[in-house]
Structure 1
Amino acid sequence: MEQHDYTKNKSISVLGCGWLGLPLAGLFVQQGYRVKGSVTSEEKLGSLFEKGILPYQLRISDQEIDCSDLAGFLDSDILIINFPPGRRPDITSYHAAQIALLIQAIETSPVQHVLFISSTSVYPDLNREITEKDMVPPTKGSGQALILAENLLLSQTKFTTTILRLGGLIGYDRMPARFLAGKKDVENGDAPINVIHQDDCLGLISALIEQEVWEDIFHAAADEHPTRKEYYTLAAEKAGLEPPTFAEGKPLRFKIINSDKIKHRLHYTFKHPNPLALL
């Protein structure tokens, strides 16, 4: 009863109700929160309404936030920012400008806490295990854009921010069988993978909100890290597709994402610890 009383008086806005954000917002509705969600296209508004989510159409460029009622969307206790940097030549500066505009709007809103959905792609391949204590500059534009966005949010004083860096997203309609099927001489076959199932994304985010864990940074990837060769070969075979072949003798590039911090902090056990078991 206490949890119900707590949640029914809390409101959450989910900026970006796509593959992850839509089921997440739906879960919050089931848990008793007042939930608002945003999509970029008018056609998708109905899918939010059907789940009991108050729908908003919202687009962010580097120049403006296009939303007919931005104040209404941000009239919440908690904001979850869940949209990746777009693929474009100026990805770093463009995404930073998007986040800067968003911060200006948040600062004049009732939002107290922000959860920023980031990615473990902020790390280059260091050929070792990586924890949250590692501070290594990204080499790719998308990683550089995310780090800039993270730092902009963490430096604010009018609200608190937690960063959740997710591994590669899998689950339901996002399964890997077709990614590499039939491809030849794929590089880095012996590199361990870092993926996370949608169920665990929802479980971890829900626990962060419920336990009110703010002003921190966490990694999240499944406990087991099979090699690319193991994973994509089995995925293709299980789907009846031609397995890929992998190049031999080239230097290995990899990273292993350690998720111990978030598991210990939230007392969380992964629902899908072994990616191979999902195939």
Structure 2
Amino acid sequence: MKVGICGCGWLGQPLASHLLGAGHHVVGTKRQPASAQALSETLATTVVPFDVMAPDYQSAAALLEADIVVINIAAGRRHADFDAYRDAMCAFIDRLAQAGVAHVLFISTTSVYGALQGQVTEQTATAATTASGKAHEHIEAHLRETYGEKGTVMRLAGLIGGERHPSTMLAGRQGLSGGNEPVNLIHRSDVIAAISAIIHQRQWGHTFHLCAELHPSKSVYYGWAAREMGLQPPEYQPSTGDGKWIDASQTLAQLGLNLRYASPYQMIADGQVTSDDPAPK
């Protein structure tokens, strides 16, 4: 199949490498022309310049010829214009439909569940509270309206992989809230395996979410992780609520997946925090 990966960054680039290795023809995108050219040479495949906020569909014509497009475009910084992001993403989905792209996989976030407490499953109604969460909630709804049974949403918990770990940003901070709340994390390798399974199994018309199976408290886990990484542990205040924990057991069962990193502790304890190899197909 010809798979378009819109957003070949921290997640999209290794995903492209994995799908190329699986025998698919991959078309990727980067916002800057120079970056697109460099990555095209690195991956030995077509990578076109494309910015969803200022789309040039003539330059991105190869993307519109894909059978499947994976939309992996983050909103950006915390103070981004999420209304503009929402509108641009919805317009992009419309353009893909007009071009005849058969299937779309939208990479979303578990922030659409907002401040819900307790167990969250794939059937839990969304309750976004942040600007980012509300934007993703709207884009998901638009995808379902536009693509119906030909579109799928994958909501991801907090992402870890390569050099990326929340402890590097939390180290030494004091007075953090929610110390008793559960951690919801997922490793990039497991995300790549799940996306690959959706494509290979033609799992369209679904809403999935992905998270490690173990949920230690923030104060316990991030304190431990900081010490393991040689950093100063953060200090948390006790939480006023129980927080939410993402139960991805239904997604894993439907896709026939066993997480490589079912526990956040494995992501460091096994010396694999820098491992980017996707789980076996």
| Alignment TM-score > 0.5, same fold | yes
Provide the rounded CA distance (Å) in 2 between the counterparts of 1:244 and 1:90.
Answer: 27
Provide the rounded CA distance (Å) in 2 between the counterparts of 1:264 and 1:273.
Answer: 14
Deviation at 1:126, TM superposition (A): 1.7
1:94 aligns with 2:84: yes
Deviation at 1:269, TM superposition (A): 0.5
Comparing 99-108 with 160-169, greater Cα deviation is found at 99-108
Deviation at 1:50, TM superposition (A): 1.2
Which sections of structure 2, spanning at least 5 residues, go unmatched? 269-281
Q: Residue in 2 aligned with 1:269?
A: 258
Deviation at 1:92, TM superposition (A): 4.1
The alignment yields a C-alpha RMSD, in angstroms, of 1.8
Deviation at 1:221, TM superposition (A): 0.2
Deviation at 1:238, TM superposition (A): 1.1
Deviation at 1:51, TM superposition (A): 1.3
| 1:97–1:176 Cα change, 3 Å | closer
Q: Would the aligned equivalents of 1:170 and 1:197 in 2 still touch at CA under 8 Å?
A: yes
| 1:159–1:130 Cα change, 3 Å | closer
Q: Residue in 2 aligned with 1:188?
A: 178
User: Could you tell me which amino acid in structure 1 is paired with residue 256 of structure 2?
Assistant: H
Q: % of aligned pairs identical? A: 31
| 1:42–1:244 Cα change, 3 Å | same
Q: Residue in 2 aligned with 1:3?
A: none
User: Could you tell me which amino acid in structure 2 is paired with residue 197 of structure 1?
Assistant: H
Provide the rounded CA distance (Å) in 2 between the counterparts of 1:158 and 1:139.
Answer: 25
Provide the rounded CA distance (Å) in 2 between the counterparts of 1:126 and 1:159.
Answer: 27
Q: Residue in 2 aligned with 1:5?
A: none
Provide the rounded CA distance (Å) in 2 between the counterparts of 1:139 and 1:107.
Answer: 29
Instruction: With the length of structure 2 as denominator, give the TM-score of the two structures.
Output: 0.89
User: Could you tell me which amino acid in structure 2 is paired with residue 221 of structure 1?
Assistant: C
Provide the rounded CA distance (Å) in 2 between the counterparts of 1:187 and 1:100.
Answer: 34
Give the one of 203, 212, 224 matched to 2:193. 203
User: Could you tell me which amino acid in structure 2 is paired with residue 53 of structure 1?
Assistant: T
Deviation at 1:157, TM superposition (A): 4.6
Q: Would the aligned equivalents of 1:86 and 1:95 in 2 still touch at CA under 8 Å?
A: no
Q: Would the aligned equivalents of 1:229 and 1:246 in 2 still touch at CA under 8 Å?
A: yes
Q: Would the aligned equivalents of 1:35 and 1:54 in 2 still touch at CA under 8 Å?
A: yes
Deviation at 1:156, TM superposition (A): 1.2
Provide the rounded CA distance (Å) in 2 between the counterparts of 1:187 and 1:150.
Answer: 29
| 1:67–1:157 Cα change, 3 Å | closer
Q: Would the aligned equivalents of 1:25 and 1:37 in 2 still touch at CA under 8 Å?
A: yes
Deviation at 1:179, TM superposition (A): 1.9
| 1:158–1:238 Cα change, 3 Å | closer
Q: Would the aligned equivalents of 1:115 and 1:162 in 2 still touch at CA under 8 Å?
A: yes
Question: Secondary structure of 2:122's partner?
Answer: coil
Comparing 46-55 with 257-266, greater Cα deviation is found at 46-55
Q: Would the aligned equivalents of 2:180 and 2:219 in 1 still touch at CA under 8 Å?
A: yes
Question: Secondary structure of 2:146's partner?
Answer: coil
Which sections of structure 1, spanning at least 5 residues, go unmatched? 1-9
Instruction: With the length of structure 1 as denominator, give the TM-score of the two structures.
Output: 0.90
Give the one of 14, 39, 59 matched to 1:47. 39
Q: Residue in 2 aligned with 1:173?
A: 163
1:129 aligns with 2:119: yes
